Amino acid sequence: MSTLTRETKLTLLYIFIALLFSIAARMIWYYQFYGYEPFIHDGQFMINTNDGYYWAEGARDILAGHHELNDLSPVTEVVSKFAAFFAYILPFSFETIILFMPMVLGSLVVIPIILIGKSLKNLELGFIAALLASIANSYYNRTMIGYFDTDMLNIVLPMFLLWSIIWAIKTDEEKYLLITALDILVYRLWYPQSYSLELSFFTLILFYVLVFDRKNLFNYKLLAIMMIAMLNIDIYIRFPLITAIYFVYKQNKFDKFVYYILGVSIILFFVSGGFNPVWDQLKGYVFKDALIVGEHGMRLHFFSVMQTVREAGHIPFEVFAQRISGSVIVFALSIVGYIYLVFRHKVMLIAIPLIGLGFLASVGGLRFTIYAVPILAFGVAFLITEVARFIPNIKIKILTIFTLTVVILSPNIQHIVEYRVPTVFNSDEVKVLEMLKAKASREDYVVAWWDFGYPIRYYADMKTLIDGGKHDGSVNFPVSFMLTNPAELSAKIARLDVEYTEKGFKKNAETNETATSNIEQISKDYGYDDTNDFLYSLQTDIKLPQKTRDIYFYLPFRMLSIYSTVASFSNINLMNGEMGKEPNLYSSNNFEQKGDIVDLGNGFLFNTKEKTITVSKEKIPLKRFVQTGYDKELNFSKRVDVFNESANLSIIYMSSYNTFLVLDEKTYNSLYIQLMVLEEYNKSLFELVVQNPHAKVYKLKI
C-alpha cells in the first residue's frame, strides 16, 4: 500500500512540475511584449489567431444574451460556451480569459502523457515526454498565450482517449469502458472533425486485438462501446446507448451477446453515415484541387481556397521534423525510440493514428504536425530512460537523464524565445472598427477579405460576406471582384451580393435548401446564361435590387501583402476555369537609391531621370509616378506625375509607409488601390467614414 501511495505522490509531483514548466514557457511571449501598447486593447493583450475571434464572438453574444439573425455567431458551439462559462465564474476580464485559456488548457496535455507513462510502469518516460510535448514547436505554436482556438484541447482530448484505451486493454477493468466512451463523446463535442482519429483508433485496436489478444472478450466490449460512441447521431442518443451497454456489460449473463452488439454497432456506424465526414476531410486536405466546379446549374468554376492557405500546403522535411521534435536529430531519434517502445510495449501500436495524422502534414500541410508531437516525444523519452537504465550509479543516472532532457528541450525553448508572433490586429486597427461600430448598425455589412472577417465581426459587431469559415471559391469570387476591379463595378456587385446573401438566408429558412452561388443566381435573374456576359453588363446602367441595409468597405494597409492572392479568386473565367493574367503588384520597403537609380530589390530598378522601371533586365517606360503621405495631423496628400499615357506600369511611393509599389494599370484602377492607397473615389458612390494610416472605411451610397 505504501508503494502505491509513493507512486501516486510521485505521479502528482511530475504532473505539477510539467504543468508549471509548460505554463512558464508560454509566459515568455507575454513578458517579451509586456507594456507594448500596439498589442494592447482595453488594458489587455489581444489574441494572436484570427479564428479566435470567431469563438470570442460567440462567447460575447452568449454573455450578452442576444445576437442578430444570420450573423453567423457561434453561440451554440462548445468552445464559445466554455469561454462564456469561464468569463461568468472567474473574476477576470473577458479579454484576459480568452488570452490565457490556451495556455492553461493546452498545458493539460502533460496529464495523460504522464499517466500513460505510469501505465507502462515508467513514470520518468511519461515525465520527459510531457516536458517535450508541451513545448515542441508545433504544439507550442497552436497552444501559446492568445491562440484561442480548438487546438487548446485538440491534442489533450485524444491523449486522454489513448490513455483510457491503454488502461482498458492492460487492466480489463469495466470502468475504463465507460471512460473511453465518454472521452469520445467529449472529444466529438469539442471538435466535430474528430471522426477520422476515432475511427483510426478503433482500427488499430482491432488490429492489436486480432494479432495479440483475440481471445479476450473484454477487448470486443471495448470495440463495441467505442463504435456506439462514434455513431454519427446526436449525443443525446449516443449517451443513453453507451450507458445502457455499459450496464449490460457489467452483467456476465449477457457476455454471449458481445459479438452481436459489436456487429450491430458497426452496421449502425455506416448506416448513420459515420464514414462520410472522414471522406469529406480527405477530399478537403489531401485530394484538394485548384478549382471547384459546381455540381448543378451552370457548373461554374471557382478557385479553391485550399491552394492559398499556408497551413494546408506542402512543407519541407526539415521544417516538418522541427515542428514535431524541435530538430531533425531529435526527430530521427524519436522515430527510432518509438519503434523500440512498440517492440517493448505492443499496446503503444494504438498510438500510430496520431503519428499518421502528423505525417499527413507532408501532403495536407503543417497544421497536422501537432498530432505527432506527443507520441514521438514518447519515442525519444524512452531512449533516454533506456540509456539511464544501464547506469548503476543513481547520481550519474539522474544527471544523465537531466542532461539529455535539457538537450532535447533546448531547440524548442529557443524556438519559443524567437517566436514573437504579433496580435491579429494592432490597437489602431481596432480603433477603426470601434469607430465603425459607433456609426453602423449590426445588420449592416462590411466588405473585407476573409482573413479579416472574424475580427471585424468581433470588434465592429457587424455582418461580413466571408470569413475564416465561410470562404469557398463561390463566396470569395464576388468579394475578390469588388476589391480588385474598378470602383464603379465593385459598387454594383457589392449591393447585389449583400442583398442576394440575405435572400439566400431567407430561402434557406423557408425551404431548408441552400441557395446556389450568388453570382450564378444573379446572372440567371438578369437573364444571362454566361456569367462573363453578366459581368460585362456591370459597365452599363443595370437596375440594382432595393437597398435593405448599408454596406461598408474595410480596406487595411496590410492587405497589400495578399493583394495577388485576393485577386486570384476573381481572376478566373467562371465558365471554363481558365485563369487570367496575374496582376502585377510589387511592394518594397527595403530599397536603396544610388544617383538616379532606386534599387527596389528583386531586379526592380526605378530610373528617376528616364522615368523607366527595369524588371528582370527589361527596361519599361512608366505611365505615372505618384507620391502619397500624411502630415502631423494625419491629413492625406498625394502628387501625381504622368509620363507616358500609353505605358502600363506605374509607381506609387507611399512615403509615410516608406513603401514603393510597382503595379500595372488594372491593379492601379482597382477599388483597393484607388480608395485605400490614393483616396481617389466617386463621391456619389462612396463616402470616407473612418480613416487612419492602418485602415480606411468607406460607406457605399447606392
Query: What's the rounded mean pLDDT across residues 172-182?
Result: 94
Q: Distance between CA 118 and CA 345 in Å, rounded?
A: 13
Question: Confidence band (pLDDT; 50, 70, 90) for 296?
Answer: low
Q: Report which DSSP code applies to 485.
A: S
Name 551's bridge partners: 445
The reported pLDDT for the residue numbered 633 is: 86
Copy the grid coordinates of residue 594.
544610388
Question: Confidence band (pLDDT; 50, 70, 90) for 294?
Answer: low
Q: Distance between CA 100 and CA 158 in Å, rounded?
A: 22
Measured over the CA atoms of residue 376, residue 26, residue 39 and residue 326, the dihedral's sign is: negative
| pLDDT at position 514 over 70 | no
What Å distances lie between residue 217 and 174, 205, 257, 262, 334, CA to CA? Answer: 12, 13, 11, 11, 34
Residues in the chain: 702
Copy the grid coordinates of residue 427.
490597437
Query: What's the rounded mean pLDDT across residues 288-307?
Result: 68
Least Cα distance to 112 among 125, 128, 130, 124 occurs for 130
Query: What's the rounded mean pLDDT across residues 287-294?
Result: 55
Q: Where do we find the cell 449525443?
A: 235
Q: Distance between CA 218 and CA 221 in Å, rounded?
A: 5
Q: Distance between CA 159 and CA 167 in Å, rounded?
A: 12
Q: Distance between CA 330 and CA 405 in Å, rounded?
A: 11
Q: β-strands 649-654, 618-630: how paired? A: parallel
Question: Confidence band (pLDDT; 50, 70, 90) for 3?
Answer: low
Asked whether 147 and 102 are in contact (CB, 8 A), the reply is yes
Between 253 and 659, whose confidence is greater? 659
What Å distances lie between residue 410 and 113, 327, 405, CA to CA? Answer: 20, 10, 9
Measured over the CA atoms of residue 371, residue 103, residue 151 and residue 182, the dihedral's sign is: positive
pLDDT digits (tens, 9 = 90+) for 324-358: 999 999 999 999 999 999 999 999 999 999 999 99
Query: What's the rounded mean pLDDT across residues 633-654?
Result: 94
Question: Which 3 state secondary structure label does DSSP give 64?
Answer: helix
| 369-372 contacts at long range (C-beta below 8 A, 24 or more positions apart) | 369/138, 369/320, 369/323, 369/324, 370/138, 370/139, 370/142, 370/151, 370/154, 370/155, 371/155, 371/158, 371/197, 372/324
The reported pLDDT for the residue numbered 252 is: 83
Q: Report which DSSP code applies to 581.
A: P
**Three-state SS letters, 228-268:** HHCCCCCHHHHHHHHHHHHHHHCCHHHHHHHHHHHHHHHHH
pLDDT digits (tens, 9 = 90+) for 395-426: 999 999 999 999 999 999 999 999 999 999 99
Asked whether 62 and 75 are in contact (CB, 8 A), the reply is yes
What Å distances lie between residue 188 and 130, 194, 199, 334, 352, CA to CA? Answer: 24, 6, 12, 29, 20
Question: Confidence band (pLDDT; 50, 70, 90) for 134?
Answer: very high
Name 696's bridge partners: 555, 691
Q: Distance between CA 654 and CA 626 in Å, rounded?
A: 8
Domains and their CATH numbers in the chain: 2-418 (no CATH), 427-568 (3.40.1380.40), 585-700 (no CATH)
Q: Distance between CA 636 and CA 655 in Å, rounded?
A: 11
| pLDDT at position 1 over 50 | no
pLDDT digits (tens, 9 = 90+) for 534-592: 999 999 999 999 999 999 999 999 999 999 999 999 999 999 989 998 889 999 999 99
Q: Where do we find the cell 519599361?
A: 620
Query: What's the rounded mean pLDDT across residues 380-399?
Result: 95
What Å distances lie between residue 373 and 114, 120, 129, 571, CA to CA? Answer: 14, 19, 9, 39
Mean pLDDT computed over every residue of the chain: 92
How many other CB atoms are there within 10 angstroms of residue 528's CB atom? 17
Q: Distance between CA 489 and CA 497 in Å, rounded?
A: 12
Residue 77 carries which side chain, given as an amino acid letter?
E
Query: What's the rounded mean pLDDT across residues 109-117?
Result: 98
Measured over the CA atoms of residue 522, residue 528, residue 534 and residue 538, the dihedral's sign is: negative
Task: List CB contacts of 666: < 8 A, sequence separation 6 or more.
Answer: 583
Copy the grid coordinates of residue 384.
533516454
Query: What's the rounded mean pLDDT across residues 148-172?
Result: 96
Residue 584 carries which side chain, given as an amino acid letter?
N
| pLDDT at position 2 over 70 | no
Task: List CB contacts of 65: < 8 A, sequence separation 6 or more.
Answer: none
Asked whether 515 and 503 are in contact (CB, 8 A), the reply is yes
Name 293's bridge partners: 301
Question: Confidence band (pLDDT; 50, 70, 90) for 308?
Answer: low
Q: Distance between CA 58 and CA 222 in Å, rounded?
A: 36
The reported pLDDT for the residue numbered 29 is: 97
Q: Distance between CA 87 and CA 89 in Å, rounded?
A: 6
Furthest-apart CA atoms within the chain: distance in Å: 96
Asked whether 64 and 87 are in contact (CB, 8 A), the reply is no
Q: Where do we find the cell 465518454?
A: 182
Q: Distance between CA 670 and CA 486 in Å, rounded?
A: 5
Asked whether 80 and 59 are in contact (CB, 8 A), the reply is yes
Asked whether 52 and 98 are in contact (CB, 8 A), the reply is yes
Measured over the CA atoms of residue 481, residue 482, residue 485 and residue 490, the dihedral's sign is: positive
Query: What's the rounded mean pLDDT across residues 261-276?
Result: 84
Name 447's bridge partners: 553
pLDDT above 90: percentage of residues in the chain: 81
Q: Where do we find the cell 491593379?
A: 667
Question: Confidence band (pLDDT; 50, 70, 90) for 528?
Answer: very high
